[in-house]
Amino acid sequence: MLLLALFVVYPTIVAIQFSLNHVTITGEGLSMRFTGLDNYARAFRDPLIATAARQTLEWVIVVTLVEMLFGLGLALLVSSGIRLRSVVISVLMIPIVLPPVAVSLAWRFSYQEQFGVYNYLLTFLHLGPVRWLSDRNIALFSVMATDIWQATPFVFLLLLAGLQAMPSDPFEAAAIDGATPWQVFRTITLPLLRPTLLVVLLLRTIDAARIFDKIFVMTNGGGPGTATETLTMSIYKTAFIQFDFGYAAGLSFLFQILLVILGTIYVRNVLKEG
């Protein structure tokens, strides 16, 4: 309880206090002027925050959907008893253990317009180079690919554990009845795996919504312009570049409430499945 109060309750109280004030830095420290709910009202009429929220939603939907599909496909493939199963699992675990900053730097170098490996391959195929991280239209999707590469093995591992924990009786009965693989997947595998899918979806959704490191490293803080700026990046810039701590605290608290609501909905669905 002491640790909970120290690392959760106290920072939340301070954040709420900041969010209700206009906070400035003076020679004597922080100066606060009470503004009530102005910071919260400002968040709902700020066009930059609206853009960041839209791009955050776009990020969450795309990376979560792709990671879930790829992770499920890999889990089904490995659980089917392919050759060199342990080798495949070991290789797929490599992205998980790599530091996100190191992964981001490696992919940023690979995306380099003149010397990157991807543009080298395109040139070799007599195709024009692509401005992976400097084109507003594709920069966000380029960073998404990095996150998908690193996070898909996490989804795969949890779904593989869920598949291996399933009882064998329904599958044996389906085989005796002559069910096709698609019928088995749709009527047996998917319903039994649904609670695990919901848990993994919750974890990946919350983690995707909090994306910061890859965007910060690969795009120099949300560039080009604000093309890759998400809510977490906007909060960071508001606090540590614009030094508008009160507004940043308000944004953080609204973001926290959103994630709590989302998590509550998911948990209720999981409990219903149970």
Q: Does domain 51-273 have CATH number 1.10.3720.10?
A: yes
Do the beta carbons of residue 205 and residue 64 sit within 8 Å? yes
> Mean pLDDT across the chain, nearest whole number?
91
pLDDT over 70 at 99, yes or no: yes
| Least confidently predicted of 56-65, 69-78, 168-177, 235-244 | 168-177
When pLDDT is averaged across residues 144-157 and rounded to a whole number, the result is: 97
| Domain range summary for the chain, segments of one domain joined by + | 51-273
Long-range pairs for 242-247: beta carbons < 8 A, 24 or more residues apart: 243/24, 243/25, 244/23, 245/18, 245/23, 245/30, 246/18, 246/19, 246/20, 246/21, 246/22, 246/23, 246/32, 246/35, 246/39, 247/19, 247/39, 247/42, 247/43
| Residue 266: pLDDT band with limits 50, 70, 90 | confident
pLDDT over 80 at 269, yes or no: no
pLDDT over 90 at 85, yes or no: no
- pTM of this prediction? 0.92
What three-state secondary structure class fits 118? helix
pLDDT in tens, 187-211: 999 999 998 998 899 999 999 999 9
| Residue 265: pLDDT band with limits 50, 70, 90 | confident
pLDDT value of residue 273? 61
